[in-house]
Structure 1
């Protein structure tokens, strides 16, 4: 005979199936036990949480419904009243057993959490970062909620994909019904080792030798139809492009050791470089104009001053100086 808590949970399950609420789904994780559930809660329409789908884990014990269940978000939203580390929502009747009432049902718990998303309580918030952003920069909070909604949709899509892979179908054989996993064609396929090696060698960025051939490009060269389909170039032009790219790649990776540079070209390049540096860094010198004929005959003015200074020095009396 089942316990009282088990029978109450059976009743809750039947009520959810008969009277479903918008945006809320819940079911036990195991067929042989009703004490652990997984629920999904959608954000309310005409709110910033619209479009979000959040998974919630509920754990009951034998004392239900004298005490509330343990509730944790599996897809944790960025919200002032939801702990980012544990995923526990801050709901008064879930945290305080004295407030909990036996009349509260599983649906009422999920509805309260659904309303909490769009109506945060900023007093005693468990996520202080979300609370501060909501108060100081509401636009940033709105954007973070939008990102959170998008992330929940991606998580849901991934879980649905795993659920589809886990489904089975039954094929009839001589020995009876045999379950056969359903797989999506094109998602999983067997590949031979030769095909794998050819593909890997074609896309690998490192080569064992510089002159190592690319098997994918070789296949294209040997098949004009593939070459035309992928590149739209004639075979000769394609080979020229490939040869040029290979030479550039080898010169960058290994250096160009095939030919020595011409000595004269190297010197010309150096001289050209030096001339350019001179023009940039050395100031231009102004060439003085040639002296006129009159100046050439008279001489520079400073020469006469020098002669006068020498003559005055020679006429000085040594005794008077002493």
Structure 2
């Protein structure tokens, strides 16, 4: 399985290199490990994350694409769907729904690619799901004190741009 996984990941990396997608860049953390990618997501215009550059690590299991990768921000991130540890929590990265929250068509399927995952993460940044938050404090502030949430996120965006 790991040979098939590595071949698929190599094809996806080549495709993203030849045809970059607006909003993110992707490459290997180490040229000898196709299962660990460094991602940089650019904050989209007209969102709270505008102007920011958010680094993350995407780690693929050897069972990929049967199992989803994990995505963890290494840059500071404050968002209802990102755990304080930086790990992203969205339906597309989940195989099983233990709590009955997501519909099957929202969860991981082997047809997803690095591109579809990252497009979903970019969408998540502009449209948080506060009904099943990974970061309770961020979700609560987003709902109850949006100006404070906005200020905190925009401060992180400026800081992330300065770090790049």
| Residue of structure 2 in register with 1:90 after alignment | 89
Counterpart residue number, 2:147: 139
* Matched position secondary structure for 1:31: coil
2:42, 2:6 → 1: CA distance? 27
**CA deviation map 1:226-248 (0-9, x unaligned):** xxxxxxxxxxxxxxxxxxxxxxx
The separation in 2 between residues aligned to 1:106 and 1:134, in whole angstroms, is: 28
Structure 2 length normalisation: TM-score? 0.88
Aligned to 2:157: 149
Q: Does 1:40 align with 2:40?
A: yes
Q: CA deviation at 1:56?
A: 1.0
Is the CA contact 1:82–1:126 (under 8 Å) kept in the aligned structure 2?
yes
Match of residue 77 from structure 1 = 77
Does the aligned pair in 1 maintain the 2:48–2:154 contact within 8 Å? yes
Per the alignment, residue 129 of structure 2 pairs with 121
Task: List alignment gaps of at least 5 residues for structure 1.
Answer: 157-322
Match runs of 1:253-272 below 5 Å: none
Q: Distance in 2 between matches of 1:89 and 1:112?
A: 11
Aligned twin of 1:195: none
- Structure whose residues are more often helix by fraction: 1
Instruction: Quote the residue 1:3 is aligned against.
Output: 3
SS of residue paired to 2:153: helix
Aligned 1:59-208 pairs, distance under 5 A: 59-84=59-84, 86-97=85-96, 99-156=107-164
CA distance in structure 1 between the partners assigned to 2:155 and 2:91 by the alignment: 28
State how far apart, in whole Å, the 1-side matches of 2:74 and 2:152 are: 18
RMSD: 1.4
Is residue 44–residue 115 contact of structure 1 (8 Å, CA) maintained in 2?
no
Shift of 1:115: 1.0
Whether the aligned pair in 2 keeps the contact of 1:54 and 1:152 (CA below 8 Å) is yes
Q: d(CA) in 2 for partners of 1:137 and 1:56?
A: 27
Kindly indicate whether structure 1 or structure 2 has the higher relative contact order, using CA contacts under 8 Å at least 6 residues apart. Answer: 2
Unaligned ranges ≥5, structure 2: 97-103
Matched residue count:
154
> How high is the TM-score relative to the length of structure 1?
0.46
1:160-180 Cα shifts (integer Å, max 9, x gaps)? xxxxxxxxxxxxxxxxxxxxx
Which aligned segments of 4 or more residues in structure 1 are displaced greater than 4 angstroms?
none
The equivalences for 1:9-20 within 5 A come to 9-20=9-20
Contact 2:67 2:95 in 1 (8 A): no
Greater CA radius of gyration, 1 or 2?
A: 1
In 2, Cα distance between equivalents of 1:132 and 1:32: 42
Summarize deviations over 1:205-240 as a string: whole Å, max 9, x none.
xxxxxxxxxxxxxxxxxxxxxxxxxxxxxxxxxxxx
**Cα shift at 1:27:** 0.5
How far apart are 1:95 and its partner, in Å?
2.6
Q: CA deviation digits over 1:78-114, x for unaligned, max 9?
A: 1111111x21111112133473111100011111111
